[in-house]
C-alpha cells in the first residue's frame, strides 16, 4: 500500500511540563484499552478468521485508548479500503491536540467506503500528558457495518511491532516484517507477535538459483549451490543464476584414468559412466579385471564346485551330491542333487533314533527320553540310543556328587574338548552349552551369596549353612542350554499343554553334611522367548523316586512339590524352593482349561443390554427436560454417556477383535471411557458432598456443586492425560487376542487399576462422610421429607446412590464364588437403571415433562404413586430451605 503522510505529534520529552494535570473525569483515568494489532494501517490481509471485523459500530460515549502492536494513535489521513481487518477504515479529519485540557478536542472521524470520506462520525480526543497518550470517545454510532478505526505508532521504538517486525519510519509508524519475512494471508496478529514468518524463497520462486543447482532456505535468507557434478561457470566467482550459472564438469577430460586402464569413460550431465572393454569386467568403480567365470554362482548350478582356467571352466558336484544326468557335465540345466542317505538306508542311525537328512550329509539324534551312549558325540556304527533312566542308572558318580550332576559334568567336558562340534537340531538333541558358577562363603562374611550362569541366578543364604558346617559352605550353580530337549516337558504329569521355557539349571551343595535350608532358595530364570500373553507358570524340579509304576514308567519326573512362582513378567521368572539337594529346576507354561459358563455369559449380555436401554433413557431425559436451575446434572449426564459408550464397546467387542489396529484403537478408547466414567462417579459424589456441606452451614442452595469448566477439566482432562502417558510409555500396550483391552505385560493394567482403585476409595469415603453429615439435616426436615410415608423409598434411594457412585465395583475383588460373580454383573451393569429411576422417575418435574410428551394433561386426576418421592437433589433442596427457615426464625 502507498505510504500515508501523518501529521507530526509532540515527542515524549515535551510532554513533561510543570503544572497540574487536567482532563475530563473518566478519560485519562477511566478509559478502556483496546489492544488489537490488526488495526495497524499497514496490515492489509483480508483472509484472516472473522474478516471483516465489526467492533466499533456500537462503541459510543466510551473513552478508549489504543495500545499494543497495532499502534497508539488514530491515523489523521485516509487509509485504503479493506485494510486493518475491516471493509471501511476510519481516520480523523482534524489535528490531534498537543496539550492536556479539561475540554476535549471535538471533530469528525471520517469513514472511507469508496471516496475517502463518505460518513462523518463525531469524536472527541484528549491528550493525557501524564502518560503521553491519546484517548478517544465516539459521540454517535456510525451507520455502516464493518467500519473501524485505523491506528499507527506515533513514536517508533525497537519493540513497537514485536519480534521479527519493525516500526517503519518510511511507513510513518506502520508495522512491517523485517527483510525475508512476511505475515501469512490467514494469520491474525496477536499482542505477542505480529505474526511474521520466514519466507521460503526456494518454494515461492521456481528455479530461483538456476538450472543444476540446489536452493537452501534459511531464516530470512536463502543460499544457492551447484548440484554434484556441476560447478559455477567461473569457479572464482560466486554462483549467480544469470551471470555465473552452474555448468557440467567433464570428468572424462579432467582425469584420464577415471575408469582405469581397461575401461571407457562416457560423460553425462553431472556424472559419468564407465564400461569395460570386451573380456573385462568391473572390479570396483574405477577398474576392470579379467572375467573369472566361476565367480558367477550359476555357471555350474547349485551344490557344485567351479574351477576357473584360461578361457574355460570345469564343474564337479560337492560331496554327498550326484548329477541329475551322470553322462553330462554339471550346469544349471544338469544340476547336482542331494543324496538322501536317510531314505536310501532305513535304520541308518539305529533303534530309538531319528535320521535327519541335510544338504550333502545326514545327522543322527535320539528321540525324546533317550540319549546317545557316546554323549554329545555321535559315532556311526558305535553310538546307540539309551533311555535317560538307563543312562542315569549306569552312572556311578564320585562321592559327594549326584548322578545328574556327574552326567552334566561329563557332557560339559565333552563340549569343552570338542569346541567345533555341531549337533543337529532334532527331537531330543541340540547344541549343548553350559556355564557353571561356584561360591564359597564363611559364616562371618559380609558378601552376598548370589551365583549366576548364562543369565540365570541363584540367591541362597550360604552364611546360615556355614554356621552349621564348621564355618564354611559352598554352592555350585550350573546352567545347561539344550538339556531341556532330554528332560522334556512331557515328564511333567499334567493334562495341560506344556512348554519348556528356560534352560535346565542344577544347584548342589558339595561337601556339606547338614544341607537343611534355613530359608527358601530363589532362582531367577531368563525366558527363551519373550512372552506376549503368559499362561500358567510352574516351577518344577527333577524327582527320582527309584521305583517303577504299573504302566512300566519309572519314578523320574518333573515335580512341583516345594517350589512356587514368586514373580514373573515377559522376560524372566523368579522361583522359590524350600529344598536343595541335587535337582534341576525348569519353568514351563501350561494352558489351563477355562470353564465356560454359557448361562453367566448370557446373563451378562442381557444385563448390559438392559443397562444400555436405561442409559439411553437417562441421557435423553437429562438433555431434553427442563430442570430446576438449582440442580446441576452435568456429572450425571456425562457419567451416563461414558458408561453407555464403554458398555457398548464391550458388547460389540467381537466385531473388531480380529483387526489388530482397530482393536488397539478401541482398547485405548475404552481405557479413556472407563477412567472417565469413574472420574464422573467421583464428581457426582463430590457434588453430593458439597451440597450436604451447604446444608450443614444453613445456606440456601443456589446451584449444586462445581462449575462446568472444572467438571470437564477433571472428567475428561485427567483421563486424556492418563491414556496419553500410557500410550507414550508402552505403544504396543493396547489390544489382545481374546478381548481388546490393556495387555498385562509389565503391570500395564495398572494404568486403569490405579485410577479406578483411587476413585473407588475416595467414593467410599465421600459416601460415608456424606451420610454421616446428613444425619442432623434429616432430623430437622419436615414430616413430608424426613418422615416420609414410605421410608423404604428413602432407603432405596440411598442404596441406589451407593450403586451410582460405583462403590459396588469392589465386588470385583471377590470373584472366587459364583454368587459374587452374578452380583457384580447385575449391580454394575444396572448403574444406568438406578440413575434413571432415582434422578428421572423419582423427579416430579421429569414426570410432568413425560406427561406433556405423551400428550397427557398436567392437571390430570390420575393418581401418581410417586408424587411424594422426590429425587436426592429435591430432598436436600427442601432440607436446605427448612434449615434456612429455622435459622432465620426469631427465637
DSSP state string for 136-203: EEE-S--S-TTEEE-EE-SS--TTTT-TTEEEETTTTSEEEEPTTEE--TTPPP-SS----EE--HHH
Query: How high is the pLDDT of residue 135?
Result: 95
Give the pLDDT mean for 821-837: 79
Q: Which three cell numbers stand for residue 802?
A: 451407593
Q: Which three cell numbers stand for residue 173?
A: 509508524
Give the pLDDT mean for 205-216: 89
Give the pLDDT mean for 601-613: 86
Q: Which three cell numbers stand for residue 840?
A: 428421572
Instruction: Go through 480-512 and write b for each residue having 16 or more CB atoms within 10 A of its CB, e for each that does not.
Output: bbbbbbbbbbebbebeeebbbbbbbbbbbbeeb
Range with the lowest mean pLDDT among 154-163, 469-478, 528-537?
528-537
Q: CB-based burial of residue 15 (10 Å sphere; 0-12 exposed, 13-18 middle, 19+ buried)?
A: middle
Instruction: Go through 60-93 and write b for each residue having 16 or more CB atoms within 10 A of its CB, e for each that does not.
Output: eeebbbbbbbbbbbbbbbbbeebbbbbbbbbbbe
Residue where the block lists cell 560339559: 412
133 or 698, greater pLDDT: 133
799 or 458, greater pLDDT: 458
Q: Which of 13-22, 307-316, 366-375 has the highest mean pLDDT?
A: 366-375
Query: How high is the pLDDT of residue 553?
Result: 44
Closest to 71 in 3D by CA, of 4, 18, 19, 138: 4
511 or 867, greater pLDDT: 511
Q: Which three cell numbers stand for residue 562?
A: 516345594
CA–CA distances in Å: residue 718 to residues 671, 729, 732, 755, 761: 12, 16, 21, 10, 17
Closest to 191 in 3D by CA, of 385, 27, 39: 39
283 or 700, greater pLDDT: 283
Could you tell me what percent of the chain has a pLDDT over 70? Answer: 76
446-464 pLDDT, tens digit per residue, is 777 888 888 899 998 888 8
pLDDT-based confidence at residue 94 (cuts at 50, 70, 90)? very high
pLDDT-based confidence at residue 780 (cuts at 50, 70, 90)? low
pLDDT-based confidence at residue 594 (cuts at 50, 70, 90)? very low
pLDDT-based confidence at residue 383 (cuts at 50, 70, 90)? confident
Range with the lowest mean pLDDT among 289-298, 506-515, 741-750, 863-872?
863-872
CA distance 288 to 277: 8
Instruction: Go through 716-728 and write b for each residue having 16 or more CB atoms within 10 A of its CB, e for each that does not.
Output: beebeebbeebbe
Query: How high is the pLDDT of residue 34?
Result: 92
Q: Does 858 have pLDDT greater than 50?
A: no
- Count other Cβ atoms within 10 Å, centred on residue 817: 9
Q: Does 790 have pLDDT greater than 50?
A: no
Q: Does 219 have pLDDT greater than 70?
A: yes
Under DSSP, the state recorded for 472 is E
CA distance 308 to 289: 14
pLDDT-based confidence at residue 857 (cuts at 50, 70, 90)? very low
Give the pLDDT mean for 497-504: 79
Query: How high is the pLDDT of residue 434?
Result: 73
3-state secondary structure of 316: strand
Residues near 309 by Cβ (< 8 Å), separated by ≥ 6?
none
Closest to 683 in 3D by CA, of 655, 707, 659, 652: 707
pLDDT-based confidence at residue 12 (cuts at 50, 70, 90)? very low
3-state secondary structure of 716: helix
Query: How high is the pLDDT of residue 320?
Result: 80
Q: Does 128 have pLDDT greater than 90?
A: yes
CA distance 540 to 383: 31
Give the pLDDT mean for 323-328: 79
Give the pLDDT mean for 873-888: 49
In DSSP terms, 371 is beta-bridged to: 386
Strands (E), 26-171: 32-34, 63-66, 73-74, 88-92, 105-111, 119-128, 133-138, 147-149, 151-152, 165-168
Give the pLDDT mean for 802-827: 70
State the distance between the two ends of the chain, measured CA to CA, in whole angstroms. 80
Give the pLDDT mean for 693-715: 68
Helix-strand-coil split of the chain, %, nearest 5: 30, 25, 45
Helix (H) or strand (E) holding 474, with range, is: strand 472-481
3-state secondary structure of 523: strand
Range with the lowest mean pLDDT among 19-28, 418-427, 642-651, 741-750?
418-427
In DSSP terms, 337 is beta-bridged to: 322
Give the pLDDT mean for 24-53: 89
Query: How high is the pLDDT of residue 542?
Result: 75
Structural contact between residues 630 and 870, judged by C-beta atoms closer than 8 angstroms:
no
pLDDT-based confidence at residue 425 (cuts at 50, 70, 90)? very low
Q: Does 241 have pLDDT greater than 90?
A: no
Query: How high is the pLDDT of residue 589?
Result: 53
pLDDT-based confidence at residue 868 (cuts at 50, 70, 90)? very low
9 or 644, greater pLDDT: 644
Residues near 775 by Cβ (< 8 Å), separated by ≥ 6?
none
The pTM of the whole model exceeds 0.75: no
Q: Which three cell numbers stand for residue 35?
A: 489492544
Q: What's the whole-number average pLDDT of the chain?
A: 77
563-592 pLDDT, tens digit per residue, is 888 888 888 888 888 876 555 556 655 444
Give the pLDDT mean for 784-807: 56
C-alpha Rg value of the chain to the nearest Å:
45
Query: How high is the pLDDT of residue 91?
Result: 92
805 or 298, greater pLDDT: 298
Q: Which three cell numbers stand for residue 841?
A: 422417575
Could you tell me what percent of the chain has a pLDDT over 90? Answer: 11
22 or 864, greater pLDDT: 22
Structural contact between residues 830 and 610, judged by C-beta atoms closer than 8 angstroms:
yes
Query: How high is the pLDDT of residue 65?
Result: 95
Strands (E), 310-432: 312-317, 321-323, 336-338, 353-358, 361-366, 370-372, 385-387
Give the pLDDT mean for 45-58: 83
Amino acid at each position: 500500500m502507498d505510504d500515508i503522510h501523518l501529521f507530526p505529534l509532540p515527542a515524549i520529552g515535551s510532554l513533561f511540563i510543570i503544572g497540574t494535570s487536567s482532563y475530563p473525569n473518566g478519560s485519562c483515568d477511566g478509559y478502556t484499552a483496546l489492544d488489537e494489532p490488526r488495526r495497524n494501517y499497514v496490515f492489509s490481509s483480508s483472509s484472516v478468521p472473522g474478516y471483516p471485523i465489526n467492533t466499533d459500530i456500537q462503541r459510543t460515549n466510551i473513552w478508549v485508548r489504543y495500545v499494543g502492536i497495532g499502534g497508539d494513535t488514530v491515523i489523521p489521513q485516509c487509509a485504503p479500503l479493506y485494510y486493518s481487518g475491516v471493509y471501511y477504515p476510519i481516520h480523523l479529519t482534524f489535528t490531534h491536540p498537543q496539550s492536556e485540557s479539561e475540554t476535549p478536542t471535538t471533530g469528525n472521524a471520517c469513514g472511507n467506503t469508496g471516496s475517502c470520506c463518505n460518513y462523518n462520525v463525531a469524536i472527541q480526543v484528549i491528550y493525557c500528558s501524564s502518560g503521553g497518550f491519546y484517548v478517544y470517545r465516539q459521540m454517535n454510532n456510525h451507520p455502516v457495518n464493518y467500519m473501524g478505526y485505523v491506528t499507527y505508532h506515533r513514536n517508533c521504538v525497537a519493540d513497537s511491532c514485536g519480534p521479527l517486525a519493525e516500526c517503519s519510519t518510511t511507513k510513518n509508524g506502520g508495522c512491517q516484517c523485517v527483510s525475508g519475512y512476511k505475515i501469512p494471508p490467514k494469520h491474525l496478529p496477536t499482542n505477542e507477535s505480529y505474526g511474521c514468518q520466514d519466507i521460503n524463497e526456494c518454494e515461492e520462486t521456481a528455479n530461483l538459483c538456476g538450472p543444476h543447482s540446489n536452493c537452501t532456505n534459511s531464516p530470512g535468507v536463502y543460499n544457492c549451490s551447484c548440484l554434484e557434478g556441476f560447478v559455477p561457470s567461473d569457479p572464482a566467482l560466486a554462483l549467480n543464476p544469470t551471470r555465473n550459472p552452474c555448468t557440467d564438469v567433464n570428468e572424462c577430460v579432467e582425469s584420464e584414468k577415471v575408469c582405469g586402464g581397461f575401461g571407457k569413460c562416457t560423460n553425462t550431465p553431472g556424472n559419468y559412466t564407465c564400461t569395460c572393454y570386451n573380456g573385462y569386467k568391473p572390479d570396483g568403480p574405477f577398474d576392470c579385471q579379467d572375467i573369472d567365470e566361476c565367480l558367477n554362482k550359476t555357471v555350474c548350478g547349485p551344490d557344485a564346485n567351479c574351477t576357473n582356467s584360461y578361457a574355460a571352466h570345469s564343474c564337479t558336484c560337492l560331496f554327498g551330491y550326484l548329477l541329475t544326468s551322470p553322462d553330462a557335465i554339471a550346469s544349471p540345466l544338469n544340476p547336482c542333487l542331494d543324496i538322501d542317505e536317510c531314505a536310501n538306508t532305513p535304520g541308518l542311525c539305529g533303534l530309538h533314533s531319528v535320521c535327519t537328512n541335510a544338504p550333502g550329509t545326514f545327522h543322527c539324534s535320539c528321540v525324546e527320553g533317550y540319549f546317545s551312549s557316546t554323549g554329545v558325540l555321535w559315532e556311526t556304527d558305535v553310538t546307540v540310543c539309551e533311555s535317560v533312566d538307563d543312562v542315569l542308572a549306569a552312572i556311578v558318580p564320585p562321592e559327594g556328587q549326584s548322578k545328574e550332576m556327574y552326567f552334566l559334568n561329563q557332557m560339559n567336558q565333552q563340549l569343552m574338548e570338542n569346541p567345533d562340534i555341531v549337533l543337529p537340531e532334532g527331537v531330543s538333541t541340540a547344541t549343548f552349552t553350559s556355564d557353571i558358577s561356584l561360591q564359597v562363603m564363611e559364616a562371618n562374611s559380609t558378601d552376598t551369596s548370589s551365583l549366576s550362569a548364562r543369565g540365570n541366578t541363584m540367591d541362597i543364604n550360604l552364611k546360615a549353612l556355614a554356621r552349621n558346617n564348621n564355618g564354611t559352605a559352598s554352592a555350585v550353580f550350573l546352567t545347561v542350554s539344550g538339556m531341556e530337549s532330554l528332560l522334556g516337558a512331557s515328564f511333567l504329569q499334567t493334562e495341560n499343554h506344556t512348554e519348556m521355557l528356560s534352560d535346565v539349571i542344577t544347584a548342589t551343595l558339595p561337601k556339606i553334611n547338614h544341607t537343611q535350608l534355613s530359608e527358601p532358595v530363589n532362582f531367577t530364570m531368563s525366558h527363551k522367548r519373550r512372552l506376549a500373553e503368559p499362561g500358567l507358570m510352574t516351577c518344577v524340579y527333577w524327582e527320582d523316586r527309584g521305583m517303577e509304576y504299573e504302566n512300566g514308567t519309572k519314578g523320574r519326573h518333573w515335580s512341583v512339590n516345594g517350589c512356587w512362582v514368586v514373580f514373573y513378567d515377559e522376560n524372566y521368572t523368579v522361583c522359590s524352593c524350600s529344598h536343595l539337594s541335587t535337582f534341576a529346576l525348569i519353568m514351563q507354561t501350561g494352558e489351563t482349561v477355562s470353564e465356560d459358563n454359557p448361562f453367566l455369559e448370557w446373563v451378562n449380555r442381557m444385563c448390559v443390554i438392559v443397562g444400555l436401554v436405561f442409559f439411553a433413557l437417562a441421557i435423553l431425559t437429562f438433555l431434553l427436560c427442563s430442570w430446576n436451575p438449582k440442580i446441576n446434572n452435568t456429572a450425571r449426564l456425562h457419567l451416563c454417556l461414558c458408561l453407555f459408550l464403554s458398555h457398548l464397546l464391550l458388547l460389540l467387542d467381537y466385531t473388531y477383535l480380529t483387526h489388530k489396529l482397530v482393536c488397539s484403537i478401541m482398547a485405548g478408547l475404552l481405557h479413556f471411557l472407563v477412567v472417565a466414567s469413574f472420574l464422573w462417579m467421583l464428581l457426582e459424589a463430590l457434588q453430593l458432598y458439597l451440597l450436604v456441606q451447604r446444608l450443614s452451614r444453613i445456606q440456601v442452595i443456589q446451584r449444586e456443586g462445581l462449575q462446568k469448566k472444572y467438571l470437564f477439566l477433571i472428567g475428561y482432562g485427567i483421563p486424556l492425560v492418563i491414556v496419553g502417558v500410557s500410550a507414550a510409555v508402552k505403544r504396543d500396550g493396547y489390544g489382545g487376542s481374546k478381548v481388546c483391552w490393556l495387555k498385562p505385560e509389565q503391570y500395564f493394567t495398572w494404568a486403569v487399576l490405579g485410577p479406578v482403585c483411587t476413585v473407588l476409595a475416595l467414593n467410599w469415603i465421600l459416601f460415608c462422610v456424606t451420610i454421616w453429615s446428613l444425619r442432623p439435616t434429616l432430623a430437622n426436615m419436615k414430616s413430608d421429607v424426613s418422615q416420609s410415608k414410605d421410608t423404604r423409598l428413602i432407603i432405596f434411594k440411598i442404596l441406589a446412590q451407593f450403586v451410582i457412585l460405583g462403590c459396588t465395583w469392589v465386588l470385583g475383588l471377590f470373584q472366587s464364588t459364583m454368587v459374587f460373580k452374578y452380583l457384580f454383573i447385575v449391580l454394575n451393569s444396572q448403574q444406568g437403571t438406578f440413575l434413571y429411576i432415582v434422578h428421572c422417575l423419582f423427579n416430579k418435574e421429569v414426570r410432568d415433562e413425560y406427561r406433556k410428551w405423551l400428550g397427557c394433561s398436567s392437571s390430570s386426576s390420575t393418581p401418581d404413586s410417586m408424587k411424594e418421592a422426590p429425587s436426592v437433589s429435591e430432598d436436600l433442596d427442601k432440607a436446605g430451605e427448612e434449615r434456612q427457615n429455622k435459622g432465620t426464625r426469631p427465637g
